[in-house]
A and B are shown apart, each in its own frame.
Chain A
């Protein structure tokens, strides 16, 4: 209990410090500047698109990893771990070499008037790289916790595979998937390392904090940290509450 309290307080320390150093006047002057809330919209939009990409592409991968239906499963997992282990800053640098304007991918994007550097697309790519491993590994664990015998029973009762997924697999994995998505969202909203390299523009919230800090100092940067917290928190919190309630219902 004491250990739990210590680590909880330690983790909360920066948030408490943030609140302690904020003043209403600083918040007012920082947030009332023209265009001050634009990065907030950029962050929300990019985060939303990132989550959609993860759900659409990451979920099937996680399901296949959990069911062991991919050939050489350890190889696939090792790939995920590599992207998890690389520092985001390094990922950003490597992305420049991978999707920058003078690379084959960059040239292909150029033909359809797209660029993966300093654009909204670049911001989404950077956020996907920073959050995808967290989502896929979390979702894999969520699917892994679903007893395959449940799915087998549903099939024997007459459900086609798509119905089994809809009626059994997703509801049972749901709480775990929600938590994985919450973690991915937090990672995407706070993405900085890769973002600063390939998506300096358009600003999201983390970059706004960084540039404000450099230009006008900590006092005017901190309100944006509060904005980031307030904006990023509801989704994971809702996921956490829903997940806990869903698990609780199954036990009662």
Chain B
């Protein structure tokens, strides 16, 4: 079990993070750049000396700033950290990189087996400069596996790679986390990355965790308007209720036509549209707001009115908090 409850003063804001991750569980810290996600991860790794609070991993107190104080240095934490740059040592071969951790044997069975499992068995004697991005990330992952870390921290490791490779590597990490039964924490600023990886998602903004929930729960029931904005609700349309109440419009949760039983039905002219992926993104004007919607079919041109249904949208009061009940 990884238990984290920390606070870090940065120049721009104070970052607070409190969460627990069970062995084999995967938590994603999701939020915009500068929200404090990496700061929390680095605090767990022991790289932020002025952090307050406590970090406990597998029963070992790694950080505790209240008496009895404790600050285990990074080299004794047994915490693995993967960043976007795989950080392979350029002067060592892949084999030496894999078995870098003290105690690991470069020519041992485990090194060879893990290299084979990761699909880099043929590259053991190559230098990192000859590896592709995906191979370098596999080697970096193997290096952590051979170090037998008690927790895995991933700081947007695959954000520079193409989608297919990113998905393959994410699946690989998922299966390894399950097999090794270690807690894993991913930092991501792309919701899709966080959802593809995690069992649970913590939404972070301005140094605060705003919501923790399952990946679908956070998207379908954001607890505040700010969380809704962060998870992709791009526009908000007025609804009846306390003054200033709105419904969140997620571009992908819009159905063409009136389906009164499934949500809020609106109608308005299409003011603009453009191709987006395999469908279309349209700007629809309704109730004084411009709604961004993804449509499967190309809308009619000439400002024709389009009827749409917002599928079970979340409602927010004037203070931005989720309204349990509201109506169109």
Asked if A pairs with B, the answer is yes
Binding site for B on A (CB under 8 A): 147, 149-150, 152-161, 163, 167-168, 171-172, 246, 249-252
Complex CA gap A155/B101 in Å reads 9
Q: Which of A150, A171, A249 contacts B87 (CB 8 A)?
A: A150
Q: Does B50 contact A (CB under 8 A)?
A: no
Q: Which of A152, A157, A171, A251 contacts B47 (CB 8 A)?
A: A152
Q: Which of A153, A159, A171, A250 contacts B127 (CB 8 A)?
A: A250
Please tell me if the beta carbons of A172 and B101 are within 8 angstroms of each other in the complex: no
Chain A residues with CB under 8 Å of B74's CB are 152, 155-156
One of B76-84, B162-170, B218-226 at the interface? B76-84
Please tell me if the beta carbons of A154 and B100 are within 8 angstroms of each other in the complex: yes
- Known contacts A156-B75, A157-B143; decide if A172 and B91 are in contact (CB<8 Å): yes
Nearest CB of chain A from residue B50's CB, rounded to whole Å: 15
Chain A residues with CB under 8 Å of B77's CB are 156
Nearest CB of chain A from residue B57's CB, rounded to whole Å: 13
In this complex, how many residues of chain B approach chain A with their Cβ under 8 Å: the count is: 27
Task: Pick from A154, A158, A250 the residue with the most CB of B within 10 Å.
Answer: A158
Complex CA gap A163/B87 in Å reads 17
Q: Which of A147, A157, A252 contacts B101 (CB 8 A)?
A: A157
- A–B complex contacts, Cβ < 8 Å, 8 sampled: A147-B87, A149-B85, A153-B87, A156-B45, A157-B143, A172-B91, A250-B91, A251-B127
Nearest CB of chain B from residue A198's CB, rounded to whole Å: 42
Chain B residues with CB under 8 Å of A161's CB are 75
Please tell me if the beta carbons of A250 and B129 are within 8 angstroms of each other in the complex: yes
Residues 110 to 135 of chain B near chain A (Cβ within 8 Å): 127, 129-130
Chain B residues with CB under 8 Å of A250's CB are 90-91, 127, 129
Complex CA gap A154/B73 in Å reads 12
Q: Which of B76, B91, B101, B103 contacts A246 (CB 8 A)?
A: B91
Q: Does B273 contact A (CB under 8 A)?
A: no
Please tell me if the beta carbons of A156 and B90 are within 8 angstroms of each other in the complex: no
Nearest CB of chain A from residue B140's CB, rounded to whole Å: 8
Please tell me if the beta carbons of A171 and B91 are within 8 angstroms of each other in the complex: yes
Nearest CB of chain A from residue B77's CB, rounded to whole Å: 7
Q: Which of B75, B89, B102, B147 contacts A150 (CB 8 A)?
A: B89
Chain A residues with CB under 8 Å of B78's CB are 158
Complex CA gap A213/B80 in Å reads 66
Chain B residues with CB under 8 Å of A163's CB are 102
Chain B residues with CB under 8 Å of A251's CB are 127, 129
Q: Which of A152, A155, A168, A246 contacts B89 (CB 8 A)?
A: A168
- Known contacts A154-B100, A250-B127; decide if A160 and B75 are in contact (CB<8 Å): yes
Chain B residues with CB under 8 Å of A252's CB are 127, 129-130
Complex CA gap A157/B77 in Å reads 9
Nearest CB of chain B from residue A159's CB, rounded to whole Å: 6
Complex CA gap A26/B103 in Å reads 63
